[in-house]
Each structure stands twice: as structure tokens, then as C-alpha cells.
Chains A and B, each alone.
Chain A
Amino acid sequence: MTVAVDPELGDVEILDYVIVEDGGRLVNPMVVDGQIYGGLAQGIGTALYEEMPFDRNGQPLATTFADYLLPGPTEVPEPRLDHIETLAPYTEFGVKGIGEGGAIAPPAAIANAVNDALKGLGAELLYSPITPRRVLEAIAAAKVQRAAVVTRAGA
């Protein structure tokens, strides 16, 4: 997983994405890949876009798709896929479930990649989605913290 982060605007771009799943015996490999692609798209939504915020009075702030952003074709990269086939001992043919795995990893993988990219600035993000706003806030907070450290060291 490789990302580029724009430190001035907070944008995150996915440059490379590798997925390896262990689905046991792959009964229909094409369907397995399809599940993984779909899961990735959903996971990118969780990691970077989808959020249901509420205001202080409990009013939902994302009530249309103009406010509730979903990844579209231009936001979902083509991942590199590979498979491990470790047969499950408890199922017919050694199959395993593959439907949900794709959606689980992206938030963690993308957040870790973003945090790695921001390491030099001392910024770290702990919440999803990683919006440009949150990236800029983390960078700004890290700047304040560093300034405080420098001041303490100077005093």
C-alpha cells in the first residue's frame, strides 16, 4: 500500500494497493476477485470519505449524496491481487468465506500509510474517514507541538 499525501491541501491519493487473501479453495476465482474489488471500494469509502455527522441538536448533516461522499471510479485504484489457498479442514472442499475480508483492511492499511507519509511532520491521524480537513488539522497540531518543544528546549 502506497499513498501520496498533499501536505498543503490534505488530499490523499492511493498510488499502489496490494491485496492477498486466503480464501481456502477458490471455487470461482473470478467471483472471489469481484468480492475483493467491491470490498476494497467499500473500505476506501470508510477510510477516506464516508461519514454520518450530526450537529449538536442531533440533526444529521449528511442527508444526500452531495454531503455523504462515496468513492467513485476515479477514487478506486486497480489493486494488485494475489491468493493463498490454505484449505479449511472444516468445510466441504476446504472453502472459506471471502465476502467481507476486502472491506476490513483498507481503513487500517490506508491510515497506516498516511501516518507513515506524515511521519516527517510528526503528525498522526487516529480517526476515519481521513478527510483533507483532518489531515491539515493533524499537521497543524504537530506544528504547534513541535514549536512548544522547541520553546521548552530553548528555555
Chain B
Amino acid sequence: MKPVNFAYQRPRHFGEAMGLLADGGAHAKVLAGGQSLGPMLNLRLVQPELIVDITALDELKRAEKLGDHLVLGACVTHADIEDGRVPDVTNGAMPEVAAGIAYRAVRNRGTIGGSLINADPSADWVSALSALGAEAIVRRADGARTLAVEDFVTGALETVLGANELLEAIRVPAQSASAQWGYYKVCRKTGEYAQAIGAVLLDRPRNVFRAVIGATERKPLVLADARALFGGSDDLAQFDRGAADAMLQSIGMTDALDRQIHTVALARAVRQAAGA
């Protein structure tokens, strides 16, 4: 199928983009790379009257280290991260996640911000950025707000983003050199969306121990304190599959095999983090 007719604008200035979005209201849609929006338009799942292409906004392509954080503009592409064209503060975790997204043609155009606002539960960044403890910086005409990625994504394909707001950047905390990270994605085949995602970050010097189970058909299960999955300890060897299974049951995952692949994904991420 082909999309229904729509108007297309590619503003050069941030203010112009915000103005277009304010005028367009519910009939305007932001395009940040189009790797999800493109197919959705073609399938007529979305039928906007106006597409605002934000990829010409330089502010959204910036990447800078500010203190102990890295700020990545929403329009930084997966390939920018994969290829190291932007700095990395995660000991290689983010480039590795980026390299595993879909396939190269998608990574060339797909952006970190676009992926996050699409909030597909099976998408990599939704889970990985939650596990990394990243934050979303949301701009509107009269100011900005910053919130944790796990609070930014409220459900499958749902975020807190209001009609007059734009996701401006992602803020990623720098990891210590000794941080341990594991990320495991279960896919039917290369390039497909995930069936299950497990991610774990243990960064003792920063007192961070986070775990995420993603691709659950809802927002990812994020544990800001993962010790409950490790018998109350921060020992990666103590991973308790039963505890993970119980948590998945508690969020309504009734299918035992579904719980199994999600638990296995996390178990393998943990094993990776432990360096075993």
C-alpha cells in the first residue's frame, strides 16, 4: 500500500519545528528517521495531514559529554553510535546495542530518539536505555523537563510526550571502568524485532545495579535495584530464575513459555555481565 496524501515540512530551526507541531496538533507527526513511521504510513496505520521532518535540526544531532553524562540529540542515528561517530560513556555497551538493531540500512537512518518515542516494547533502545539508567530530555516552547527513560515510556507505543512537546535528547550517565554490563536479545531471525530482551548493569563504584526484562508487549520491567533477583545480594552468580519468573507473572505474563524465554534472556545477559 501507499500512504494517504500528507504535507511535508523540513524545518531548519527548532522554533519553526515547534510552531509547525503546535499548528498541526493531533494531525501532525514527527519524522526522525522514518524507519518505523515509513512502514506505518504505508500500511495506513497512521494518516497524518502533516509530517514534520526534524532531521535538519542541528540541535538534535549534537553529542557532547557534560560532566559525568553524555547528551545525545534525538536525531543521532544508530549507525552514528555503532561506528563511534559520537562519544561513548558506556564502555562499549551502547555501540554494541546499536550494532544489533535491525540491519544496516535501518541503522543508517533510524535514530535513537525516533526509536524511543515510537516506544515499541520490542525495540532495543527502550530496554537498553532503561537498563543504562538514561534520561529523556523533553522540550516544549516554554521550557524543558527531564525524566527517566522508564518513566518516559508508559506502555506499548505510548510515552508521556504531550502534543506540544518534542523529545530533544537522551542523557546517558557515564559508567565506571569496572562496570559490568550484559545484554541479550532473542530474535526469530536477524533484523527482526525481539521476542525477549534481558539487560543488566552492575556498577559498584556508582552504587548502581539495574536489570530490565523487555519485549514483553508492554513497557519493560525495570528494576532500579536488581538485588531482588539475586537473593538480595549484588552477586551476579546468585541470579534467581524463580524470582524473575514470579515478577513476570506479577505483571500479567500468563504464558509459561513466554516467561521462560524472557527469563533465559535475562539469565544470559547476567552471564555476559559476569564475564563467564
A72 within 8 A of B: yes
A residues in contact with B195, CB < 8 Å = 132
The smallest beta-carbon distance between B188 and chain A, in angstroms, is 6
B→A interface (CB under 8 Å): 39, 43, 186, 188-193, 195, 256-257, 260-261, 264
**Residue total for A at the interface (Cβ-Cβ under 8 A):** 18
Mask: chain A, 41-84; 1 = CB below 8 Å from B; 0 = not: 00000000100000000000000101001011011000000000
B residues in contact with A133, CB < 8 Å = 257
Does B260 contact A136, Cβ atoms closer than 8 Å?
yes
B residues in contact with A140, CB < 8 Å = 256-257
Judged by DSSP, the binding face of A is loop
A residues in contact with B189, CB < 8 Å = 49, 69, 71-72, 74-75
B residues in contact with A72, CB < 8 Å = 189-191
The smallest beta-carbon distance between A75 and chain B, in angstroms, is 5
A155 within 8 A of B: no
Does B192 contact A69, Cβ atoms closer than 8 Å?
yes
A residues in contact with B256, CB < 8 Å = 140
The smallest beta-carbon distance between A144 and chain B, in angstroms, is 12
The smallest beta-carbon distance between B110 and chain A, in angstroms, is 16
Q: Which residue of A lies closest to B256 (CB)?
A: A140
Knowing that A72-B190, A74-B190 are A-B contacts, what are 15 other residue pairs whose CB atoms are under 8 Å apart, sorted by A's residue number? A8-B261, A9-B186, A9-B261, A9-B264, A11-B186, A49-B188, A49-B189, A71-B189, A72-B191, A74-B191, A75-B189, A75-B190, A132-B188, A132-B261, A136-B260
